[in-house]
Amino acid sequence: MDQMTRAKQHARQQARAQLDSIVNLMDAIEAARDGKTIRYEDEWLGLEELEERARERPLSILVRSEWSLPGSKLTPGEYEVLLCTGGPAVRIRGELSEYGEPASARIESQDWFTPWERLHTDSREDEPLLRFAALFWFGQ
């Protein structure tokens, strides 16, 4: 296996670990919605504490606008939630609705000197990933 292949595999493993952690956290948040205290990472936490944990995860949150005419008001059209950097880096990207809410979510990874690649997910992972992205504010 060459260096590039190992780097891509390493990046995919980190993305998978981040995704699994997000799915577990979002499952805990969903279970806590009825007022229960949930055991998460060896602690008993309520809904507010779990949502706070989720909101503390990103290193940065970015938006960029869609194409528009010069002089017109710029509105966010896409977002990025950066989860970790370096070798490897992992981010969540997607499109924003007209109300500035995530309309889609995909998880991507890269290692040093490799391009960003999307991690293939299934419907059991897509929905919690989108709910995670929806915890953040992307408006003005």
Q: Residue 126 is part of which domain span?
A: 3-133
In a domain, 12, yes or no: yes
| pLDDT at residue 1, rounded to an integer | 62
In a domain, 29, yes or no: yes
In a domain, 22, yes or no: yes
| pLDDT at residue 126, rounded to an integer | 95
In a domain, 93, yes or no: yes
In a domain, 140, yes or no: no
In a domain, 103, yes or no: yes
Tally of structural domains, the chain: 1
pLDDT per position as a tens digit, 64-122? 988 888 888 888 889 999 999 988 999 999 999 988 899 999 999 999 888 899 999 99
Q: How confident is residue 11, by pLDDT bands cut at 50, 70 and 90?
A: confident
pTM of the entire predicted model: 0.88
In a domain, 60, yes or no: yes
Tell me if 58 sits within 8 A of 120, measured CB to CB.
Answer: no
In a domain, 139, yes or no: no
Residue 2 has pLDDT above 80, yes or no: no
pLDDT per position as a tens digit, 25-73? 999 999 999 888 989 989 999 999 999 999 999 999 999 988 888 888 8
